[in-house]
Amino acid sequence: LCNCLSRSRPALLVCKVPLAAVARPGRALSRHGFYAVETLIEVHMALARVKLFAPRLAQDLRLRQARPEDLPALVRMAHNAFRKDRFHADPNLSQANADHRFEAWVRRGMQAQDPVFIVEERGSSGALGFFHVREATGAQKTVDLSLAAVDPSYQKTGLGVLLYQMVLLECGTKGFEFAESRVSVANGDVLNLFMRLGFSLRNPVVTFHCYLDHAKPKHG
């Protein structure tokens, strides 16, 4: 496979292996230049069982569908909100490009007309946070909690908790029966939030990267 890749530009190979079976393939991948960058855990819950541990949703906040004019604010939040993912964790990759990945993520969600919710103060049109969701594939009516962020000035204020709860309730009213997402073990705050909301953890997976840059001289 490596010989088939273009030698004129860098390339990133990605491989994901279930944690329970990682020992042997992990050694084989290491011999071919792969290195572990992230362990992901799937979180899953029946929406009827959500635990609203902050049940008094702020009366001065509202949740609504994002509109095209909201996109600049969503892109700005996406640019600044994420640091505990495999792209930011990989020392071979540009931190700026890792930021742009999340900008592109929310842009694609808007272009695909996926549900992108924003939370704002009532009587105001300024987005304080957003949550991009999409319907997961499969027989069950499951919503994939794809990407969420709040404005940097509202981090550590409890707004993120309210945003998650409001979105879960909204998805329930729209007929979804289950919710799921995938979270890096490095993102302990979000994992703890999901567990407090009633989610269960399953299917841990280790992600390996192999970064190929034929222009860099090899040492040793």
Q: pLDDT band at residue 141, thresholds of 50, 70 and 90?
A: very high
Return the pLDDT at 56.
Answer: 57
E strands present in 53-177: 61-65, 116-121, 127-135, 142-150
Calculate ∠ Cα 155-149-44, nearest 5°.
Answer: 110
**Per-residue pLDDT tens digits for 35-50:** 999 999 999 999 999 9
Q: How many residues are there in the chain?
A: 220
pLDDT digits (tens, 9 = 90+) for 71-119: 999 999 999 888 889 999 999 999 999 999 999 999 999 999 999 999 9
Residues 6+ apart with CB under 8 A from 206: 16, 17, 18, 19, 22, 26, 36, 38, 39, 40
Q: What is the mean pLDDT of the chain?
A: 88
Q: How confident is the model at residue 83, as a pLDDT?
A: 87
User: How much is the pLDDT for 158?
Assistant: 85
What are the strands of the beta sheet with 35-46, ordered from one edge? 11-18, 200-212, 35-46, 178-184, 142-150, 127-135, 116-121, 61-65
Instruction: Tell me the whole-structure pTM to 2 decimals.
Output: 0.86
Please name which of 211, 42, 71, 76 lies closest in space to residue 149, comparing C-alpha atoms. Answer: 76
Lowest mean pLDDT among 97-101, 142-146, 155-159: 155-159
- Give the pLDDT band of residue 156 (cuts 50, 70, 90): confident
Residue 17 contacts residue 34 (beta carbons within 8 Å): no
